[in-house]
Amino acid sequence: MMSPGERAHELHALLHRYAHRYYVLDDPEVSDAEYDRLFRELQALEAEHPALLTPDSPTQRVGGAVLDGFTKVRHAVPMLSIRTETDVEDTGAANFDARVRRELGLKEGDAPVTYTAELKFDGLAINLRYENGQLVQAATRGDGEVGEDVTQNIRGIGQIPLRLPAGCPPVLEVRGEAYMKRADFDALNERQREKIAAGQKNEKTYVNPRNAAAGAVRQLDPAISRQRPLSFFAYGWGEVTPVERGGPDFQTQFKALLTLKSWGFPVASRTQTCVGASELVAFHRAVGAERPGLGYDIDGVVYKVDSLALQKQLGFVTREPRWAVAHKYAAQEEQTTVLAIEVQVGRTGKLTPVAKLAPVFVGGTTVSNATLHNEDEVRRKDVRVGDTVVIRRAGDVIPEVVATLLEKRPEGAPLFSMPRHCPVCGSDAVREEGEADYRCTGGLFCGAQRKEAILHFAGRRAVEIEGLGDKLVEQMVDAGIVRTLPDLYRLGFTALVNLERMAEKSAQNLVSSLQKSKQTTLPRFLFGLGIRHVGEATAKDLARHFGGLDRIMDASVEQLLEVPDVGPIVADSLHTFFQQPHNREVVEQLRACGLSWAEGEPAERATLPLAGQTFVITGTLPTLDRDAAKDLLEAAGAKVAGSVSKKTSYLVAGEAAGSKLDKARELGVTVLDEAGMLAMLGRTNGDVG
């Protein structure tokens, strides 16, 4: 039988191999379930035998405390930028080849120069440092001389090896690009939109994959960084142990990249050698044609003299290598006419002006719509119906209006004005202070927001209608049997069972779940209404302060501002919401359908016992789940945060508390178990259940 150490070593090797096959070769060797089983086995071994936990363990891709800031890293070899060729036509490649030949003193009859041609990725440059085969540091490019230590976040990228195979140099720095695939970017933005729709504060969607990737790499909380899936391509190196001390004998750029690939680093398959200017031109054209289907963003290609000896001979000028150039692609632009400017309403209520265009072929597709983003953008670009405009579509970016050709504007073209009422439901459209977007305030009534409003209302932390998920809501709304929230409670068994793929038992379960959800609490109901900026904690504060829903609906802005932690933005949002007749009507209909909750008198001005205290909950508590513990603490006036900081008053720790417990001890935060927390609340374990 193997010893724990031998088994851990075996699991290391298996998991590293499986991860390489999955992330780098895109050729999985085992099922996800089998990988997870082995991963959990290794975790258990390391927990039982802490000495077996090493920095290169596959389990160390996850975890890590929230950082206070990034440590500066001075690069052993500067990460220099390369020159950009401003001529985006074929002549750009020919001009570079001519410069190289001139610098090398080659005559017309001499042999052509061989180059390595690569893709110019649109991500964030990263330097990976390995010592004795283990990843010890990852740093951003920074200013080229000094970057930032982002090791914890980079460890989460599955394509990056934590440990190198035998035979690698003692010191190896690999340089490449952290980027986000378009599919991962779209999925990330979809999740962000769901969070925004659920009322989570400080959430946003991302403009493009490059910005999302850069934000993930430079995120102080590794747990958040891991929610933004990143990928990596290697394209070069920094410090490497020299040949005379056992380092690799790199002689050409291309063979060096193949060596990096053999050591487990992903290298883009569209990397090749090109002989002479004609093959550089062919590469530039071919990649340009393939660009829309690559699955990730590039903004050009890169040419490098292949021979490292010739690179050394060519040297640098103004800190840029003479032996390399970035050859970009022209922005894909065309002219067309604005036929109309329509305002679309997103599922979270955002109003977006969209230019309806005379169809034009640009960027590999026919474009008939272009976003104008918001009213300020329309005014800045002065776009009007009838204008001739320049449209740009670079890669898979949403087409946008770049400029208006004023000399072609027809007489009398009217200024655009953003409607002050929702074009879908007629509710007021408001623009909060400091924001660029107008939003519809008829969230419970607006057809554009219908599906999102229903899903939020039915959520686990809101009214909770078990069994009512995305697909079913989409079916019911598309079939026209649910138009507003009260329609849910008017559904009968017959209407449900007639839906496609709805079995009798499922229909009956949903009817029962709807009936059960009628008994709720005022905070849950308030949160379920989806009022902008009103999250769970604010809903609880409002219910505690006013005692009843009618008092909240009738409150003035000034009265709302008396609620703890309710500021002007939240107060205005609440007041505007309940001033909309549509929203009040939906609330009254929900009450008429039987939704009810306990109400009481407004809370006294006396301070709640835990007011001003911030708690963090971690690990598994003996009798309470995390949500129940959070509810108890918030009912006593405490705030419950997600991470430990200097502002944390108490950490409530259960079994397998992990890094938050370490952080709390480091900061001197008082640590409580469940019993200690309940004692502060004046309760015992027998009081909850």
CA distance 189 to 215: 13
Identity of the residue numbered 571: A
Q: How far is CA 117 from CA 216, 304, 349, 434, in A?
A: 28, 6, 46, 46
- Reduce the DSSP state of residue 52 to 3 states and report it: helix
**Helix, strand, coil abundance in the chain, percent, nearest 5:** 40, 20, 40
Three-class SS state of 338: strand
Q: Give DSSP secondary structure letters for 65-86.
A: PPPSSPPEEE-SS-----EEES
Whole-number Å distance between alpha carbons of 403 and 652 = 56
Q: Which residues contact 468 (CB under 8 A, 6 or more apart)?
A: 454, 455, 458, 488, 510, 513
* Ramachandran assignment for 364, one of left (phi > 0), alpha (psi -120 to 50 degrees), beta (any other): left
d(CA 440, CA 427): 6
* Amino acid code (one letter) for 187: A
- H or E, element range at 275: strand 272-275
Burial class (CB in 10 A: 0-12, 13-18, 19+), 217: buried
Coil, strand or helix at 242: coil
Q: What tokens does 237 get? A: 């190196």
Residue 474 dihedral angles phi and psi, to the nearest 5°: -60, -45
Per-position b or e across 468-485, b if 16+ CB within 10 A of its CB? beeebbebbbeeebbebb
- Is 120 a known active-site residue? yes
Check if the beta carbon of residue 450 is closer than 8 Å to that of residue 484: yes
Cβ-Cβ contacts under 8 Å for 160 (sequence gap 6 or more): 128, 135, 138, 154, 232, 265
Residue 325 parent element (H or E): strand 324-328
Among 72, 107, 120, 201, which one carries the catalytic annotation?
Answer: 120
Write the CB contacts of 272 (distance below 8 Å, at least 6 apart in sequence). Answer: 116, 117, 254, 283
Among 442, 397, 45, 354, residue whose Cα is nearest residue 207: 397
Residue 512, H or E segment:
helix 504-517
Separation of alpha carbons 458 and 464, rounded Å: 5
Nearest-angstrom CA–CA distance, 36 and 40: 6
State how beta strands 614-618 and 650-653 pair. parallel
Q: If you ran DSSP here, which 8-state letter would residue 661 be given? A: H
Residue by residue, DSSP assigns 101-145 as: HHHHT--TTSPPPEEEEEEEESSEEEEEEEETTEEEEEEE-TTSS
Find residue 139's DSSP bridge partners.
Answer: 127, 149
For helices 209-217 and 182-197, angle between their N-to-C axes, nearest 10 degrees: 80
Contact 434, 348 (CB under 8 A): no
Active site residues: 120
